[in-house]
């Protein structure tokens, strides 16, 4: 009886591991809209052709838009400036553009961008002035391996566009029920 219970627990844990670490696939529909799924044999994947982009997104990442997430466990505030790590799954067009730019600098090193599927970006958000600044960009392959990394020591503050994913992020990290945004 005791051995049976141990076997059932081990099998249960194994099943949980398989469920919680599913791969993520992307496809573009006929309008060109990027979609993500963890079901490779779904009807849209069969119709539009899915491409595996990464391991499952960790539970600590909250979705902002179709391919844009932020790490809700890694948000720090200093005065009215919030530092947050965002995560973006790149489209094929974005990947090709980065590969083309890398090829201009070093054609041999540009080959690694064939594996480029997503990036993590450390940014700061000025909650008072509704602006953002990119501090660090890390390009990654679908396994999360770092392909390239850039730290921007002197990046400029940019306005957050009202229709952008960064505006949705701004609303998540800067606007709280106690601190609603004020119209200027």
Tally of domains within the chain: 2
Indicate whether 62 belongs to any domain. yes
Residue count of the chain, please give it: 184
Same domain? 64 vs 39? no
Average pLDDT over residues 145-161: 90
Residues forming a β-bridge with 41: none
What is residue 175's predicted lDDT score, i.e. its pLDDT? 79
In percent, the amount of the chain with pLDDT more than 70 equals 81
Indicate whether 39 belongs to any domain. yes
Same domain? 89 vs 34? no
Contact by Cβ (8 Å): 87, 138: no
Distance from C-alpha of 140 to C-alpha of 148, rounded to nearest angstrom: 7
Distance from C-alpha of 24 to C-alpha of 37, rounded to nearest angstrom: 6
Q: Comparing 57 with 16, which gets the higher pLDDT?
A: 57
Q: What is the CATH number of the domain that holds 134?
A: 2.40.128.710
Indicate whether 16 belongs to any domain. no
| Burial readout 61-96 (b: 16 or more C-beta within 10 A, e: otherwise) | beebeebbbbbeeeeeeeeeebbbbbbbbbeeeebe
pTM above 0.75, yes or no: no
In percent, the amount of the chain with pLDDT more than 90 equals 27
Same domain? 88 vs 131? yes
Please report which confidence band the pLDDT of residue 158 belongs to, taking 50, 70 and 90 as the band edges. very high
């Amino acid at each position: 009886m005791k051995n049976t219970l141990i076997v059932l627990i081990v099998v249960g844990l194994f099943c949980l591991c398989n469920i919680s670490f599913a791969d993520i696939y992307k496809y573009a529909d006929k309008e060109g809209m990027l979609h993500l799924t963890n079901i490779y044999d779904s009807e849209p994947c069969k119709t539009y052709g899915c491409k595996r982009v990464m391991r499952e997104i960790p539970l600590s990442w909250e979705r902002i838009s179709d391919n844009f997430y932020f790490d809700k466990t890694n948000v720090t505030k200093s005065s009215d400036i919030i530092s947050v790590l965002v995560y973006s799954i790149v489209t094929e067009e974005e990947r090709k553009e980065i590969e083309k730019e890398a090829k201009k600098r070093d054609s041999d090193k540009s080959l690694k961008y064939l594996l480029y599927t997503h990036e993590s970006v450390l940014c700061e958000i000025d909650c008072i002035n509704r602006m953002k600044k990119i501090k660090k960009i890390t390009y990654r392959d679908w396994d999360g391996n770092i392909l390239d990394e850039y730290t921007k020591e002197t990046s400029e503050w940019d306005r957050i566009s009202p229709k952008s994913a960064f505006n949705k992020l701004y609303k998540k990290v800067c606007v709280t029920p106690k601190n609603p945004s004020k119209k200027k």
